[in-house]
Amino acid sequence: MVKLCGIDEAGRGPIAGPLVVAGVVIKNEIKGLNDSKQLSEKKREALFDTIKENTYHHIVFTDAKTIDEIGLSLCLKNSILEIMQKLQENSSTFLMDGNTSFGIQNLEHKIKADATVQEVSAASILAKVSRDRYMCEIAGDYPNYNFQKHKGYGTKAHVDAIKEFGRSDQHRFTFKLKALGEVEIKTNKATQKSLF
């Protein structure tokens, strides 16, 4: 039987914090899976340990500094390749949520896979919860930014904090903000949409 490895990411769009990519091969049935964005935080947290206990999985963190240095697309590609290498003994088919395979051989992709393919839903939850937990853990070290509230996304309160305190070492300096009067970087859709 062909075992599918589902892959999804969290943290492509925020202006602070890491990119987190997860890969999941399901061993035992898990009920209640869905796209992490469609689940409440309580439900995601409840599913997190269940997913870890009933899957082969691998989670990759890439920090903001590396995203600035090599770009979001290459960070995503490197994370996916690491997952494929780590889980190759458990899976022969790899499916990424989204509209691109990042030029990776043997990687399939499907839009909305996180809502329709249970392995990708599970990966979506692992990535989202792992990233949210990280942002909450570091929040105390960066009290000016309230990372525990917005998880690094560009909310008005977060942008206002950057206006007052500048960026921290958790921020992505290459993500330019209109609200700060910064010039936008023109990039393709696979790397980063223009922000705010």
CATH number at residue 138: 3.30.420.10
The set of long-range contacts for 40-45, using a CB threshold of 8 Å and a minimum separation of 24, is 41/132, 44/125, 44/128, 44/129, 45/129
Which residue range(s) make up the domain with 46? 1-196
pLDDT averaged over every residue in the chain = 92
pLDDT at residue 193, rounded to an integer = 45
pLDDT at residue 177, rounded to an integer = 83
Average pLDDT estimate for 84-92: 95
Domains identified in the chain, total number: 1
Higher pLDDT, 43 or 189: 43
End-to-end CA distance of the chain: 46
